[in-house]
Amino acid sequence: MRMRPTLNWIPSGDLPPGTTDLEPVAAALSAGGVLVLSGAGISTESGIPDYRGEGGSLRRHTPMTYQDFTATAQARRRYWARSHLGWRTFGRARPNDGHRAVAAFGRHGLLSGVITQNVDGLHQAVDGQDVVELHGSLERVVCLSCGARTPRREIARQLEEANPGFAPVAAAVNPDGDADLTDEQVGDFHVVPCTVCGGVLKPDVVFFGESVPPSRVEHCRRLVREATSLLVLGSSLTVMSGLRFVRQAADAGKPVLIVNRDVTRGDQHALTRVALPLGAALTTVAGRLGIPLDEAAA
């Protein structure tokens, strides 16, 4: 029997309350060696919804799983039609103050690294900073047969040619780039094959129900070992792919600090959780540290 991936987490027991005190975050950054782990919440101010916050996409949308994607051609048609439309929206999104603050902290030598659970490329769009893409990137497409990787813009061009005039209006676009379309709107959308071997193409992202490559996990674990502290930005930490690094840091006695408006699955391991909007919170911290954000080229 196929198991569904964990999509939601219900808090149990007494979790420490959130705070508005940014001093512990500023102090950790001032000390340097901070490893950032970011989630969908850092991109909401760029117009990309998160999964689980107020108005999060999981309230109306069940993400495509790897098992469903590989099971039928119909599921892949539905996914690619929705993702093709969502890609246009992602392409218009721009980094916000949260992304610019992270880039500024790195530029001033306060960070040991950045890991993002996001697939939107917005961290990388500021200063071209080096970021570990834990769940991959929508900028690339991979063939499930031969492993060939192709820039997403090239696949988008092929899909445009195969589906002239395809321009339905989506109800919403989700954090994974999947736009909300009805079956009628999807219609007979044509999916393009791999130009190398004719195989099935998939965005080079880790779907729900799929595992993060072991080499990438180990790279992230090494970053945690080398860091002085871990700063989580905009992640509910519901899925184990991110939570495991919080647990690793806490087990090693490294301070874990979280900036997220809602409770997270990692709160019990954290020194503090700041319940403030990310852009404003990180801009305030940057100001306290005398770091301007306008040096970053978005």
- Residues forming the annotated binding site for NAD(+)? 39-59, 117-120, 234-236, 278
* Partners of residue 258 on adjacent β-strands: 232, 273
Alpha carbon distance 87, 152 (integer Å) = 9
The backbone torsions φ and ψ at residue 99, rounded to the nearest 5 degrees and listed phi first, read -65, -40
Give the SS3 label for residue 228: coil
- Active-site position among 61, 135, 190, 219: 135
Residue 274 near residue 247, CB atoms below 8 Å: no
Alpha carbon distance 135, 153 (integer Å) = 19
Residue 285's nearest CA partner among 27, 5, 107 is 27
Residue type present at position 111: L
Alpha carbon distance 10, 294 (integer Å) = 39
The backbone torsions φ and ψ at residue 173, rounded to the nearest 5 degrees and listed phi first, read -120, 135
99 included as an active-site residue: no
Residue type present at position 191: V
The backbone torsions φ and ψ at residue 282, rounded to the nearest 5 degrees and listed phi first, read -70, -30
Give the SS3 label for residue 17: coil
Task: Count the helix, strand and coil residues of the chain and give each as a percent rounded to the nearest 5.
Answer: 35, 15, 50
Q: Is 153 left (phi over 0), alpha (psi -120 to 50) or beta?
A: alpha
64 DSSP 8-state letter = P
Instruction: State the virtual CA torsion across 146, 151, 153, 155 in degrees, nearest 10.
Output: 0
Residue 253 near residue 227, CB atoms below 8 Å: no
Binding-site residues for Zn(2+) sit at 143, 146, 194, 197
Active site residues: 135
